[in-house]
Amino acid sequence: MSSSNKHKSYKPDWVPKNAGAEFAVKVVKGVDKEKVKHETKKFSKRRNLDIQDYVNGVLENDRTILARTITLIESNSSSHNEIAQKVLKKLLPNTGKSLRIGITGFPGAGKSSFIETFGLFLINLGYKVAVLAIDPSSTITKGSILGDKTRMEKLSREKNSFIRPSPSSGTLGGVARKTRETMLVCEAAGYDVILVETVGVGQSETTVRSMVDFFLLIMISGAGDELQGIKKGVIELADSILINKADGDNKAKAMLAKSEFSMALHYLHPATMGWKTQADVCSALKGEGIKEFWNTVQKFKDITIGNGIFSERRNSQNISWMLSMIEEKLLADFYNNKIIKSELDKVTERVLKGNLLPTEASELLLKLFN
Ligand code: GDP
C-alpha cells in the first residue's frame, strides 16, 4: 500500500464482492517507536536508577525509591547486592539517628494492633515511623507477618509511616542482615522511630534484640503454664513488658498478670544495665497505656544515653553484626564449595553407616574445604 492511501478505507481480498460498508477496514497510522521509547523512559517508574539516584531518592524519602532500595537489599542476586552496598555506604552518614524498638509476643497477643495504635500515637506527636519485621517462619512458608497490610490499615495509610513485611527468603541470619540494612535505609530516609516486630516463638527474639535499643515484650493474661518456660528466656531480653488487652472483663486479670510478672522480674537479670524492667498493662484496642509506654521509652533513652549504655550497646551490636556476617559468609562458602558439594553426601553416608566418627568427618570436610 502506498503512503498516499494509508488512511483511506479499503476492502481486503476476503471481503465478499457485494458487501456493504460494514466490511470496510480503516488503516490507522502506526505509532512512532522512537517517540514511545522516549515517553516510556520519561514516565516509567521502573526506569534504571544509578547509585546516586537511589541515594538521593532515599534522602528525599521518595517512597518508591525507598522501596526499590530495600528490594535491592533483599535480592539474592549478587549484582543487586553490590549496588545495595554502594548505596548503603553513601547513606551511612545519615543513619543512626532513630530510636530502634523491637517488639515481640506470641501470635495473637496483639502486636500488630499495638503497633498500629502506638505508630499512630507517634505520628500524632510529629514523628515518622517505620515498621519492619523478622519472621523466621516466613522463610519456610513464604508468608510473612505484616504481609497482610490490612493488619495495620490506618497506619499504612499515613504518609509518615512506612511498613515493610519480613523478607521471605533466606536463613534467619540472612533475614537479619537484610532487616538491619533496611533499618539503616529507613533512618537515612528520615524515620525517627523504627519498630521491628517478631513473633515470640524462638531464636528470632535474640536476633531482634541484637539490633534494637529497646525491646518490648507484649503478653496477655492467662497464658498457660506451658508457655512459662519459653517466656523466661524472652523476659530476660525485655526492657518492658506490656500485658495487652487490659480492657473490659479482662482488666482485672491483666492487673493480676502484671503483679505476677513484676514478681518474676524481681529475680531475673535485667536486659539493660542500669535499667529496671517493669511490667505494665495496656489496651491496644482502646489506646490505653500507650502514652505511659512512650514515657517509659523516653525515660529509658535518657538514662541509657546518660550512663553511656546506649552508645555502648550500638557499638557492640555493630561488632556482633560484623561477626555474624563473617559466619554467614563462611557457611555459605562452605556449602557452596564444589568439593564439599560432591563429598558431603558421601561423608554423611559413612557417618550414618558407622564407618566414620562425626569428629573425623568434620575434620575431613574442613580439610577438603581449606
Ligand atoms: P498479633 O498476632 O500479636 O499481631 O495480634 P493481633 O494484633 O492480630 O491481635 C489478635 C487479636 O486480638 C485481634 O482479634 C485483635 O482485635 C485482638 N486485640 C488486640 N489488641 C487488643 C486489645 O487491646 N484488647 C482487646 N480486647 N483485643 C485486642
* Domain residue limits, the chain: 3-43, 96-310, 317-369
Check residue 37 and give its pLDDT: 63
Above 90 in pLDDT, residue 224? Answer: no
Mean pLDDT of all residues in 240-264 = 92
Above 80 in pLDDT, residue 27? Answer: no
Is domain 317-369 in CATH 3.30.1490, yes or no?
A: no
Determine if ligand 1 sits within 6 Å of the CB of residue 288: no
> Which comes out higher in pLDDT, residue 119 or 202?
119
For the chain, percent helix, then strand, then coil, each to nearest 5? 55, 10, 30
Instruction: Report CA 104 to chain centroid distance, whole Å.
Output: 13
Contact 349, 343 (CB under 8 A): no
What is the residue with the minimal CA distance to atom 14 of ligand 1?
108
The residue whose grid cell reads 495473637 is 108
What is the residue with the minimal CA distance to atom 6 of ligand 1?
110
CA distance linking residue 241 with residue 260, whole number of Å:
12
Check residue 125 and give its pLDDT: 97
144 Cα to the center of ligand 1, angstroms: 17
| Residue to probe by mutation, ligand 1, list 103, 113, 145, 151, most atoms within 8 Å of CB | 113
Determine if ligand 1 sits within 6 Å of the CB of residue 247: yes
Check residue 1 and give its pLDDT: 42
Percent of the residues in the chain that have a pLDDT greater than 70, as a whole number: 80
CA angle 209, 196, 327 (to 5 degrees): 50
Out of 3.55.40.20, 3.40.50.720, 3.40.50.300, 3.40.50.10860, select the CATH number for domain 96-310: 3.40.50.300
Above 70 in pLDDT, residue 23? Answer: no
Determine if ligand 1 sits within 6 Å of the CB of residue 244: yes
* Ligand 1 atom nearest residue 151's Cα: 8
Mean pLDDT of all residues in 331-346 = 93
pLDDT in tens, 116-173: 999 999 999 999 999 998 876 655 555 555 555 467 889 999 999 999 987 766 677 7
Q: Same CATH topology for 96-310 and 317-369? A: no
113 Cα to the center of ligand 1, angstroms: 6
pLDDT in tens, 65-113: 999 999 999 888 888 988 999 999 999 999 999 999 999 988 888 999 9
109 Cα to the center of ligand 1, angstroms: 6
How would you classify the pairing of strands 99-105 and 193-199?
parallel
Check residue 69 and give its pLDDT: 95
205 pLDDT tier (thresholds 50, 70, 90): confident
Instruction: Report CA 62 to chain centroid distance, whole Å.
Output: 18
Determine if ligand 1 sits within 6 Å of the CB of residue 57: no
CA distance linking residue 363 with residue 357, whole number of Å:
10
Q: What is the DSSP string of 91-130?
A: HGGG-S-SEEEEEEE-TTSSHHHHHHHHHHHHHHTT--EE
